[in-house]
Structure 1
Amino acid sequence: MSDGNVFDGGVEGAASLSVYGADAVDRTAGGVRQALIDDRVPERLCAKDATLWGPEAEAEARIRLGWVDTHRRSRDLLPQLAELSAELADLDHVVLAGMGGSSLAPEVITRTLGRPMTVLDTTDPGQVRAALA
């Protein structure tokens, strides 16, 4: 087959992985990338341009773009976060009350840091009592 790439990790005798069509994907992605640049999508996203999502989604997009400049706004919080981190350094367990997707990031963070955490993904009084015991 043509238009394929073979990846062997650079190790002689190692298993290899053949990906057919990768060159076509690269060409397509390059075209899409250029269209995004030509339409000024990165610039418009940084400017919180809700029209990027189309007329039907514009109102919702307008209230969902607060994350775009979080990197600037959050810098002012660094001293407070350092203080909080020092204050909580001896914490040995966390109970997170959250349902659905709101608990996913904290679970990853606590596993990465090796700190125990109980995710309280319920309003059942018995389970709440058990988590807080």
Structure 2
Amino acid sequence: MSWHGTEGTRIQKIISSLATQMAGEAIIQLLSAKFEAGWEHFLDAIVESDKVAINSSLSAQEIQLERERVAQQKEAMRQRAEQERQKNEAWERFYTPAQACELPESQARVDVYTAREARFRKEFEQLWAAGEFSQPRA
């Protein structure tokens, strides 16, 4: 298992404290598996483990700070997902491929349609970044 940096050190401290309280290896394996499955699942595991952590060597203040940090990370993840959803919806409104793009008759047509979409994507990305998204010009 590889843990890096100060985040890894904090995670190891939490896992060690939890392991002491819950008879060792079982909780380490659970949290390690959650960590390997992805941050969102790992963060959920930490939240679920808060009740156990209260009785561990972590202070109440450290536990509260960790809860707040986890809540902030989850909120940031939720906001990024929402922004991505909004951006995808805006792209779908901004660019509708021509019907001929669905079944191009030749590789040359595929190239033309791909270039057209790339041109629209570039324009969309610029408008999105500037916060000035609008429908495409004819």
Higher relative contact order, structure no. (Cα contacts within 8 Å, ≥ 6 residues apart): 2
Query: Same fold by TM-score, threshold 0.5 exceeded?
Result: no
Structure with a larger share of its residues in helix: 2
TM-score (norm 1): 0.24
